[in-house]
Structure 1
Amino acid sequence: MTAPHLEKRSVRLAGHRTSVALEPPFWAALEAAARRRGIALAALVAEIDAGRADPAIPLASALRLFALAEAQRRG
């Protein structure tokens, strides 16, 4: 069960579907980053997933850290 403050989305990574639950502001930041790059959100998520230095880091954490880094670069 997903916490009520989280929004769960399904994405296809390496040929399999997985679900990720994030707070809506993180999804909004990721969508904006994807738009700036001219790619689909799913492509950005796959890029972040593939670029994780430590695969033990949960995908949701990697996505949040990416969104934070983007905000800091743009701020």
Structure 2
Amino acid sequence: MRHLAKRSVRLAGHATSIALEPAFWAVLEQAATRRGTTLAALIAEQDAARAGAEEPLASRLRVHALKLVSGEA
């Protein structure tokens, strides 16, 4: 069984919960820190950039984290 860590954030004024593996959260937190922003702001940015409901936010965040690690983002 996969170990997921849930976080709650507010996006566009609505509370939502996102479940990711701890390694993905760590990459996203480091990216936010390097940019001098909050994790919530980074998540909101990725939420705004996704292709609607057909692209799940958790999937978008995982792909973004992978791009950060590989130097593509």
Please, what TM-score do these two structures have when normalized by structure 1? Answer: 0.89
Amino acid at match of 1:60: A
Higher helix share: 2
SS of residue in 2 equivalent to 1:9: strand
**Unmatched segments (≥5 aa) in structure 1:** none
Aligned to 1:14: 12
Using the alignment, how far apart are the partners of 1:59 and 1:67 within structure 2? 12
Please, what TM-score do these two structures have when normalized by structure 2? Answer: 0.92
Cα offset, 1:4, TM superposition: 5.9
Using the alignment, how far apart are the partners of 1:4 and 1:72 within structure 2? 23
The number of residues matched between the two structures is 71
Aligned to 1:25: 23
Q: Structure 2 matches for 1:1-75, cutoff 5 A? A: 5-52=3-50, 54-55=51-52, 56-73=54-71
Cα offset, 1:66, TM superposition: 0.3
Aligned alpha-carbon RMSD (Å): 1.4
**Percent identity of paired positions between Structure 1 and Structure 2:** 62
Amino acid at match of 1:38: G
Deviations 1:13-41 (A, max 9, x none): 00000000000000000000000110000
**Unmatched segments (≥5 aa) in structure 2:** none
Using the alignment, how far apart are the partners of 1:4 and 1:13 within structure 2? 26
Amino acid at match of 1:6: L
